[in-house]
Amino acid sequence: MREITDRQLPDMARGAAVLGTGGGGDPYVGRLLAQEAVRRHGPVTLVDVDEVPDDAVVVPTAFMGAPTVLVEKLPSGAEMTAALRAVEELIGRPATHTVSIEAGGLNSMIPITAAAELGLPLIDADGMGRAFPELQMLLPTLGGILASPMALADERGNTLGVRAVDNGWAERLARTATVEMGCSAGVSLYVLTGRQVKEHLVRGTMTLCERLGQAIREAADAHTDPVEAAAGVLGGRLVFTGKVTDVQRRTEGGFARGEALLDGLGADLGHGLGVSFQNENLVARRDGEVVVSVPDLICVLDTDSGTPVTTEGLRYGMRVSVLAAPCDERWRTPEGLALAGPAYFGYDHPYVPV
C-alpha cells in the first residue's frame, strides 16, 4: 500500500500511454484530470492485489469512445463518478475499491480521478495489460465474468444502465449509446470481487506505468536513448525507426480507424512500415510483411524524446520509433486469440508471438 500524489502522475501517464499502444486516450488530458482531483481531494491510496479482501466490491471506471473526439470534447471527470454511482444503484451495494480496465494515457488516469473524488482505494492492476478497442476484450471475459450491469454517463448529465446477455452485446449496446452521447462517455462495468481481481486481472500495472515513464524521462534527461530504455522495461524490441509520411484516419462506428505509413531512417533506410489501427495499433508491416500484431503491443514513440505517440497524435513528418512488446500470456491462448487476435479484427495472417 502506498499513496499516489500529483508528483508521480506525469511518469504514470507517460508510461500508461506507452502500454496503451496508441489508444487508451490522451495522456495529457488524463494527467490534468487526475492532478486536479488529487490536489482537491488529497492523495489516492494504491493497494496491491493481495491486499484486497476476497469479498471486496471492485467497480472499475473508464472512458469509452473515439480518441480523436476526446481530444476536442474534453471530459470533466464528473462522467466517471456518475457512471460508478449508477452501477452502485444497479447492484445495490457501495463500491469498496476501483481499478483500471485498461492501460492507456487517459484510461489509467480516470480511475485515479474517480478514486480521489469518491475516496476509494485504487488497485494496482488492470484488465488487459495494454489497451484494446472493444470493451469485451478484457481478461475477465475469458474467466466468464459479465461486463454488465454497467452504466454510461455523459457531460450533459445523462446516465444509462445496461444489462446485456453477454459481453459482446454489452459492447454493441454501449457503443451505440456512446455514439449518441457524442462519441465519448464515462463508463463503469465489470463489477468484481476481490477474489476475481486476484484471478483475472494483470497485477502491478500502475507501478509498471510509473517505472516505464520514469525510465523514459531519466534517459531523455541524461541524453541517452529513451526508446531503448522503454524497450528494456517492457522486455520488448525495436521494430522500426522512420519518418511518418502519411496518415489516413477516420472516425467510424465510434472508433478511430486508419493507417500510418513510415519511411525508414538510419538502419531502416530504404524500407517502409505500415501501422494499421482501430483506436489502438493492431498490425505493423515492414515492406508488406507482418512483423508484429495484436495481441502483442505495438508502441510508437518519438525517437528523440521517447514520448509515446497516440494514434490521434500521429502527424506527417514525425520521427518515430516503433517497439514490439509481449502481451500477457493469457492473450496467447486459443481463447485469448479468439477474443482479441488478428482474425477477430479481420486479418488473415497467423499470430507469431513477439
Domain 2-205 coded CATH 3.40.50.300: no
Beta strands 2-4 and 159-162: pairing type? Answer: unpaired
pLDDT of residue 250: 87
* Domains 2-205 and 233-344 fall in the same CATH topology: no
pLDDT in tens, 89-127: 999 999 999 999 999 888 999 999 999 999 999 999 999
Share of the chain above pLDDT 90, in %: 88
- Name every residue whose Cβ is closer than 8 Å to that of residue 233 and which is 6 or more positions away in sequence: 208, 211, 212, 215
Mean pLDDT computed over 178-184: 90
pLDDT of residue 40: 95
pLDDT of residue 9: 96
182 grid coordinates: 457524442
Q: Where is average pLDDT lowest: 26-30, 137-141, 166-170, 290-294?
A: 26-30
What are the boundaries of each domain within the chain? 2-205, 233-344
Mean pLDDT computed over 267-282: 96
Residue 76 burial by Cβ neighbours in a 10 Å radius (0-12, 13-18, 19+): exposed
- pLDDT > 80? residue 236: yes
Q: What HEC string does 258-319 produce?
A: EEEEEEECHHHCCCEEEEEEECEEEEEEECCEEEEECCCEEEEEECCCCCECCHHHCCCCCE
- pLDDT > 80? residue 128: yes
* Residue of 74 and 43 predicted with greater confidence: 43
Mean pLDDT computed over 319-333: 98
Average pLDDT in the chain: 95
pLDDT in tens, 9-52: 999 999 999 999 998 878 888 999 999 999 999 999 999 999 99
pLDDT of residue 177: 95
The structure's pTM equals: 0.94
324 with 296: CB under 8 angstroms? yes
pLDDT of residue 183: 86
- pLDDT > 80? residue 334: yes
Mean pLDDT computed over 62-72: 78
Q: Residue 253's pLDDT band (boundaries 50, 70, 90)? A: confident
Q: 233-344 maps to which CATH number?
A: 2.40.390.10
In degrees and rounded to multiples of 5, residue 239 shows phi and psi of -100, -40
- How far apart, in whole angstroms, are the C-alpha atoms of residue 133 and residue 125? 19
pLDDT of residue 283: 98
pLDDT of residue 65: 83
- How far apart, in whole angstroms, are the C-alpha atoms of residue 154 and residue 274? 35
